């Protein structure tokens, strides 16, 4: 049977495409790149739908990036026998997520709110963009979008080249070393080794990142650049309003039978020094607990977590995340009165 020229062209095009993608995948794997998940609204909405599990079966976490690194979900679930629902978002203010859960009459569970002062007490709308996108996507998600997410999961979880943050065209452009134009805020140049995302939304530094001080210094450079912002910390009436909104949120959740605890995960080095100076504990953390009537777990108060070192000043290694999670569960049980399925 004679093959038409158009069919030959189609076969050739498909073959070349397959060769390209297979070669690209093999190359990335040889470089140590592993498959992970894009941490977008779709993945966040998948976890947001889980918050209605009974309080003795699950705990919900909101915050910024630190709790996504520092909470080791397998360790949490092994020790507690309960599901960890990770809703925190990197580089974001978690207050919209806190508000969303407080104003959801169906949410009656346990909530841990992690505080990174420079983000939680920040009025800039920029830091609420991602949380609002996630919330809006969850509320408007269509059946077609849900089906697409389900079908995409096994593909995305097995192919490294599908990482859109680093390996897409825009991702590659964002990581080119091009001088920044005056007045243009540059993309944050994090190395991909800093934090691949698991399906449960936990971030984990790769072994190569933990071992490579050059990669760690690259991230420290991002923090140093962001630290040049001289906007004074929030105070006065705007701060009062944030405190009162937090109290209102806590009261709503508790009135439905839920529980809320605040955490302050580790930071170290110049990062912790700067945070302590800019956001004195008495004026922010202590006041938050007093205003809301909530219990809190501040890492520096406990021997098991006080000396943990963040290699890039702001997030724990996977090994230390296990240490932190062990301590967190123990504190919740022994000091805060939380009981878990595994302990019962």
Pick the CATH number of 41-334 from 3.40.50.1110, 3.40.50.720, 3.30.70.980, 3.30.1390.20: 3.40.50.1110
In the predicted model, is pLDDT for residue 17 greater than 70?
Answer: no
Q: How many Å apart are CA 24 and CA 179, to the nearest integer?
A: 28
Q: Rg of the chain over CA atoms, in angstroms? A: 22
Question: For the residues 300-317, what does the mean pLDDT come to?
Answer: 97
pTM summary value: 0.87
> What local confidence, expressed as pLDDT, does residue 303 receive?
96
d(CA 71, CA 60): 12
Q: Answer whether 25's CB lies under 8 Å from 161's CB.
A: yes
What phi and psi, each to the nearest 5 degrees, are found at residue 191?
A: -70, 150
**Does the structure show a pLDDT above 70 at 78?**
yes
Residue 322 scores a pLDDT above 60: yes
- Of 339 and 2, more confident: 339
**Between residues 138 and 2, the one the model is more confident about:** 138
Domain range list for the chain: 41-334
Average pLDDT, the chain: 88
Q: What is the pLDDT of residues 167-208, one digit of tens each?
A: 655 555 555 565 555 555 556 778 888 988 999 999 999 999
């Amino acid at each position: 049977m004679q093959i038409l020229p158009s069919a030959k062209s189609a076969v050739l095009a498909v073959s070349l495409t397959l060769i390209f993608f297979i070669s690209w995948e093999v190359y990335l794997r040889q470089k140590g790149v592993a498959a992970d998940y894009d941490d977008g609204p779709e993945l966040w909405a998948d976890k947001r739908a889980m918050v209605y599990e009974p309080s003795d079966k699950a705990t919900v976490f909101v915050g910024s990036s630190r709790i996504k690194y520092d909470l080791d979900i397998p360790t949490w679930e092994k020790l507690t026998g309960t599901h960890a629902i990770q809703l925190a978002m990197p580089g974001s203010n978690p207050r919209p997520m806190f508000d969303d859960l407080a104003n959801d009459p169906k949410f009656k569970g346990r909530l841990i709110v992690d505080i990174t002062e420079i983000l939680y007490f920040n009025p800039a709308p920029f830091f609420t963009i991602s949380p609002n996108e996630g919330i809006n996507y969850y509320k408007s998600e269509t059946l077609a979008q849900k089906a697409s997410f389900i079908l995409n999961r096994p593909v995305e979880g097995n192919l490294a080249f599908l990482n859109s943050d680093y390996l897409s065209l825009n991702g590659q452009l964002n990581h080119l070393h091009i001088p920044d134009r005056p007045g243009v805020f540059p993309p944050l140049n994090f190395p991909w080794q800093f934090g691949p995302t698991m399906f449960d939304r936990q971030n984990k530094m790769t072994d190569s990142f933990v071992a490579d001080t050059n990669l760690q210094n690259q991230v420290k450079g991002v923090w140093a650049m962001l630290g040049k912002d001289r906007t004074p910390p929030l105070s006065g009436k705007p701060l009062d309003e944030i405190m009162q909104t937090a109290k209102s949120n806590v009261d709503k959740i508790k009135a439905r039978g839920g529980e809320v605890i605040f955490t302050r995960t580790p930071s170290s080095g110049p990062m912790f020094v700067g945070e302590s100076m800019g956001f004195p504990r008495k004026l922010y953390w202590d006041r938050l607990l007093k205003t809301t009537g909530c219990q809190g777990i501040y890492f520096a108060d406990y021997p098991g977590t006080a000396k943990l070192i963040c290699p890039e000043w702001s997030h724990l290694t996977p090994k230390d995340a296990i240490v932190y999670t062990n301590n967190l569960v123990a504190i919740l049980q022994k000091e805060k009165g939380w009981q878990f399925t595994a302990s019962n």
